Structure 1
Amino acid sequence: MVVHMLRFKLGDTNFFQGIKNYLADPTLAYGYAVTENLKTHLEAASGMDLDEFFNDWVYGQGYPRYTITVRNFSPGVARFTVSQTQSHSSVSFFEMPVPVRVTGTGGQSLDLILDNTTNNQTIDKNVPFAITGITFNPKSDIIARNSTATLGNEAFVLDENVKLYPNPASHSLQLELPDNVVLEKAIFYNALGQIIKETASQTSWDVSALPVGVNFVKIITDAGTKQMKFIKA
């Protein structure tokens, strides 16, 4: 499994070239297989320093437990928080690229690699859809146990570029959204919290029949939800 993780970390081209060079090294022919010799050839082929990897996964003991949380941070961007605990004191932190798979409501799926180098690390990734689910280590590429990956309960709050106008409004109310945000539903409430109007993707409404005074509209988009207040004049 550690050899598979080396291939995952280095990539196929570097990994297999390093293996070929190791097997073809005339100074190692007919001798004992020594871990450090393999490490040297893999480092030469990839240009990577593998001290941390071998210290953690070969010479150290135990395994990591990951806790990963993701939330839709802004339109097109997901924020991951990666935390880790270790099962044995010989390793203070397992440094390793962490694979996850995120999914959306429309059946979208995207595999990502989180380059986890510190504990409680925050990593932003471009994701072209609103995430509704996450799977840790979907192809079993790394050693881990009792790990979890969850969608954060904190909803993405749409930024100040979302505007309602005119406010107050007597007849027509308009919604302005960023170019890459799609409106899915709008729900209107009166001051008592009762639903008085509900629409789909339209961003302009006739509010002449709504009660005079304070009203609210909940904007549900593919990038999150925002509740806004407006005055019916």
Structure 2
Amino acid sequence: MKKKLLISVSLVVFIGIAFNIFIYFKNTINSEIVANLEGQIYYLKRVDGINTLFKSDANLKNEKLIYSHKGKGKDNYGSNNDNIIDYYYDIKSNTISFIAMNNGDWSLFSIKEGEDTATLINKADFMANTDYINNQTKNITVAQKKGSIYITQNGEEKCINKFYGLYDNKFTGYRPLGLSPDGKFLIYHSAEHLTPYGVMIEGLLNGSFGHNYIMDLSTGKSTRFIDASNIQWIMNIK
């Protein structure tokens, strides 16, 4: 009995170590893709459960907090909703407009980089203008079909990331997030599980599931990217 228990424990430990090695390898392979990215990105990232605005170089170096609405999003229910739900960075004026809660109303604010206090503009529940990465450029369109990612270029469609698993439109598969401004890279989200059950378990344990990846479309190789949303990529396209 003790021998069987020891074998079982040893097997669990081995599987855990092997899984961690696999995840490390998956997260670091092809890391040169990120290292060579150009430009800057703005994005929303959760900090203590709150969507907060950051920027960094596209290679993920020099991350900088732009603005947190923590403690300022008083709602109508006696609590706070401090999330930034939308934003737009205007390159010419170096001004950022964003939507956040103000005394029970979703409202438009503006702030310049380096400032600590945002200026309230008016009530608003959506941005009139955003410039997030999207799944279409002048020559390329990206789409998801049953968890797999397809790219259409010059009228020709091909699968660039095939999902092998039990597809569920909410819980499994790959989801394209958007192309780099020059159309050379694709950022996408992977649920990281072959079935919805694994996703639901991870979601219950961690409060989220999956990770973002970036693919070099010229090679088809991918690597881990920042787990963020509403990415605006600033790049001088030659």
> TM-score when scaled to structure 2?
0.21
Return the index of the structure with the highest Cα Rg.
1
> TM-score when scaled to structure 1?
0.21
